[in-house]
Amino acid sequence: MTSAEIARIYEQYGFVIFGRCRRILHSEDDARDALQVVFLRLLECGSMLRDPERVVSWIYRTAQNHCFNVLRDRKKFDTGVDPDELARDPDSEQRLDARQIINLALGCHDRRVREAVYFTYVEELGQEEIRKITGQSPATIRRNLRKFDRSLLELRKRLGDG
Amino acid sequence: MTEQPTSCPDILALTAYAAGACDDFTRAQIARHCATCDACRKRADALSVERSDFLAAHPFERTVKLPQHKVIPFPAYRVVYALAAALLVATGIGFYYSSRTPGTDTRMKGEVRVTLFVQESDGSAASRADNVFHPGERIQFTCSSGPNTRLALLSVDDSGRVSTYFPPAGDSAMAVEPGREAPLPNSIVLDDYIGRELYVVVLSRTPFSAGAIDRVIRDAYARTPDLARLSPDPGPGFTVRRVLITKTARQQ
């Protein structure tokens, strides 16, 4: 692969990788680091590069997996809130926004629930699109979303939120 | 006659369209749809703006650092034809690539086999019985393995310098395609170092760290600096294959 070909692949797909990484990591610097890793992995993909939709699907899945691993390794689910402290302080005016609640709940679930939740609520994709990216059937996606919704309800009750 | 409206493309198709990666037919189809669908046109436009903003803020030459060793894949079809030709030659002369040379180990027991080819000046792939190569030549490893195999490829030269070729980024060993003589994703252009270089291919059915293998090789070199006798041992659950080459300057 020549430098020109590598540059062309970057110009086509770089924004897709960076966009996914920035959504999860909430940091331009971290997203740039993740872009480097995921882009170099993309270059290894050989013949898959001839199928653009497969490439985009691969990027969605790989960027998400990589970035969640980064977050987990750094023990950094960006809540800005200690849920146990909040529960002890009934007068606290702090309220969790949707992103913080998702991050809290995601720490408790497996990869498949996390994927269903992330692509549904953060990327706002349809179930058929999620199926293409993750391989989960629409029924499995719905089941995993229900699992997450139940845990979210329990968490809200515990925090006295909503 | 009114043209029937096409159904909305999903985000994967729209993103591929905004990336400028679609073939002509698909691009024309999506463009025709966007001309009549406000929602899709807005989505496609937003993706295009995102792409141009990204490239303006993060140009390729300032953002991406490519691996130090030139790692450039063979075009896939050339690999298929070149490997076929090379295998025919090897079979015809009963050639065992480096298997009887002390310090090399490329004919494998069991299901794992690693083979090394070099791209000749006419573009064909060949194997070399004497394992002598020259700076600037392009070599390609192939691997015969079963399913769920992960691989790391590192090298150590006479000076003890250890380099990692696969995975090309990150620390996790990469998954390899099961089957016979599957080429690794990228070829390797040999650098200017003159001397011997031992390529160490490590395989396992479970994920492992390339950094850990790097340490194993350094420890082995510290104990046994002679590459011909150096035998890194990552422990149980790993298969190790070694290929020792010698790089010499080209005769003018």
Q: Higher pLDDT residue, B77 or B198?
A: B198
Nearest by Cα to B39 from B16, B7, B4: B7
Whether residue A133 lies within 8 A of chain B, CB to CB, comes out as yes
- Provide the pLDDT for residue B38: 94
Whether residue A47 lies within 8 A of chain B, CB to CB, comes out as yes
- Provide the pLDDT for residue B101: 39
Confidence of residue A122 (pLDDT cuts 50, 70, 90): confident
Q: What is the pTM of this model?
A: 0.50
CA distance B62 to chain A (A): 11
Does the beta-carbon distance from B170 to A37 stay under 8 Å? Answer: yes
Q: Give chain A's mean pLDDT.
A: 79
Residues of chain A in contact with residue B54, where contact means CB-CB under 8 angstroms, are: 14-15, 18-19
Whether residue A83 lies within 8 A of chain B, CB to CB, comes out as no
Tell which of A17, A38, A43, A50 to mutate to test the B interface (max B CBs under 10 Å). A43
- Which of B16, B170, B174 is the closest to A53 by Cβ? B16
Confidence of residue B82 (pLDDT cuts 50, 70, 90): low
CB-defined contacts A:B, below 8 A: 93
Question: Considering only A71-80, A149-158, B199-208, B232-241, which range has the smallest mean pLDDT?
Answer: A71-80
d(C-alpha B66, C-alpha B69), whole Å:
9
Residue whose tokens read 């002679």 = B226
CA distance B220 to chain A (A): 29
pLDDT digits (tens, 9 = 90+) for B128-145: 878 888 888 888 888 888
Q: What is the DSSP string of B34-89?
A: HHH-HHHHHHHHHHHHHHHHHHHHS-HHHH----SS-EEPPPHHHHHHHHHHHHHH
- Give the residue ranges of DSSP H helices in A74-119: 83-88, 98-106, 111-117
Sign of CA dihedral A17, A21, A27, A29: negative
Residues of chain B in contact with residue A31, where contact means CB-CB under 8 angstroms, are: none
**Whole-number Cα distances in Å, B170 to B10, B21, B211:** 31, 27, 9
Residue B110 has pLDDT above 80, yes or no: no
pLDDT digits (tens, 9 = 90+) for B2-20: 444 468 999 999 999 999 9
Chain B residue with minimum CA distance to A13: B19
Residues 56-95 of chain B with CB under 8 A from chain A are 58, 60-61, 63-67, 72-73, 76
Residues of chain A in contact with residue B67, where contact means CB-CB under 8 angstroms, are: 40
Tell which of A22, A29, A44 to mutate to test the B interface (max B CBs under 10 Å). A44
Does the beta-carbon distance from B76 to A47 stay under 8 Å? Answer: yes
Tell which of A29, A40, A124 to mutate to test the B interface (max B CBs under 10 Å). A40
Does the beta-carbon distance from A44 to B185 stay under 8 Å? Answer: yes
Report the percent of chain B where pLDDT is more than 90.
28
pLDDT, average across residues A147-153: 83
d(C-alpha A136, C-alpha B36), whole Å:
32
Confidence of residue B87 (pLDDT cuts 50, 70, 90): low
- Which of A13, A55, A125 is the closest to B11 by Cβ? A125
With vertex at residue B112, the alpha carbon angle to CA B107 and CA B116, rounded to the nearest 5 degrees, is 50
* Number of neighbouring beta carbons within 10 Å of residue A72: 12
Tell which of B7, B8, B12 to mutate to test the A interface (max A CBs under 10 Å). B12
Residue A77 has pLDDT above 60, yes or no: no
Residue A105 has pLDDT above 60, yes or no: no
**Whole-number Cα distances in Å, A12 to A19, A21, A75, B15, B43:** 13, 16, 32, 10, 17
Q: Higher pLDDT residue, B123 or A155?
A: A155
